A and B are shown apart, each in its own frame.
Chain A
């Protein structure tokens, strides 16, 4: 469809190459350190002469990291599903019926403008009243609410792209508002739901600030919180820290590799409207 023949340039390829190196070298270095022994991490080498997976083994069997990853996944996926369930009706109503006028969409995004530290103490107080502080359920509920605006923002573009005639036809056939939403709109935006769901789940999985305050007990800690605890030791073991970091990143990398088509599609749709 699009021809890009005219201006392809080797300089541009070289620049892209530099950016690739800049992106990949730090990540590869992290992997290299994860295979080093305690002495090797401080000896100024780039690759261990005797690479060993023992750091990975130690982290997997004797740390809070695997549990943290599991809890992060639970909060990330649970929160994302809940966000979507609540955001889809909202996005549809805002796009199709202009519910809340022209301002609701923008107003919804406004809490995003301020540092999340603003909400930590009030949310902590609220969860304490509800008896949900230090629980994964409390954190999941907070994640679900936090991402409703983001999900609506990303979904609006997809919903606008659905021809309104399809919904009108459904209404003429006697389908009510909810029925039109469930049996017409949701199936049509299913690919978008996957994309937005992945993005929101990754945001949740990576979130640190709220998690560190809302899940302070060890058996509620998510992966980023568990990782930050590795710095508590007086002489940190860099090899183990690197292994722990990578173990926590694997789920996100897996999603990015297997679902990249949806992921990039979703990011793109949200982006063009910027």
Chain B
């Protein structure tokens, strides 16, 4: 539609030079935002990664690829990258699976008023620092909700301390993350369910498609685009996880919950080594791109097929 409008009335042929500049000035604040938040940090980080830079005195001396060599040889950095990728994929898959189930149920439910929808979306508007605090209290070994419930059912609640266990701290943060962001998937998928073609579904139901078969052949193709988009958005958010780690475990115990974002924070703002932090940041950027590109391609493909 937008295309046909442009074709019928090519704007650049009809508007004056003055008008064209007026239009450019309309987008100038947005371009400024892009420069300040995108281009400038990127150039800064590229420059810092090939130099000896501290927080107070950036770019003291050019060091070439030294930072990258140090960083790639550092087991902690490589481990944090793997941890981050595994974490991001796991919480995204869990959120999307749960979110699709909830959205489909919400649409089919006999009761699903606006109060229900508002409550389901609550975790989205709660500050992540509060979400972290809330689940830290739940996981608190002495008297937290989890240990109290386990004790009620006869287990040893006092021995349960997921946040100080190297094996369970990251899954505990992941659970919190899933609680916080699944509502976003519910929202995206639910709105797309509302937009699906009712007639197709009725026809399929008349032809004898019910339950799982109806869902697989009619509902799922209709919402596939929204699900793919939700997965992409969820993945990007998961790669950024910082607040929860900061509040719940500070990266510990040991390095068990040190995601790459948190590691960059530690190196840049605790060790003040901006050069090394920048090298890790670029490495993270490459990893994020490599992981999200297939998803973007998939989203495009689903959109084309739909």
Contact = CB atoms under 8 A, between A and B. Distances in A.
A99 B24 contact: yes
Contacts of B192: 271-272, 274
Interface size class of B (residues with CB under 8 A): 35 or more
A9 B269 contact: no
A16 B240 contact: no
A97 B147 contact: no
Interface residues of A, number: 103
Interface in B168-210: 179, 183, 186-188, 191-192, 194-195, 198, 201-202, 205
B29 interface: yes
B78 interface: no
A23 B120 contact: yes
A16 B112 contact: yes
A40 B133 CA distance: 18
Contacts of B122: 23, 27, 253, 256
A95 B138 CA distance: 47
Contact of B30 (A27, A87, A118, A123): A87
B130 A248 contact: yes
Interface of A: 2-4, 6-13, 15-16, 19-20, 22-27, 29-30, 33, 40-46, 86-87, 89-90, 92-94, 97-100, 104, 107-108, 110-126, 145-146, 148-149, 152, 160, 164, 176-178, 181, 202, 205-206, 208-209, 213, 223-224, 227-228, 230-231, 238, 241-242, 245, 248-249, 252-253, 255-257, 260, 264, 267-268, 271-272, 274
Interface of B: 2, 5-6, 11, 19, 22-27, 29-34, 36-38, 40-42, 44-45, 48, 55, 58, 101-102, 104-112, 114, 116-123, 125-130, 133-135, 137-138, 140, 142-143, 145, 147-148, 151, 157, 179, 183, 186-188, 191-192, 194-195, 198, 201-202, 205, 225-226, 229-230, 233, 236, 239-240, 242-243, 246-247, 260-261, 264-265, 268-269, 274, 277-278, 281, 284-285, 288, 292
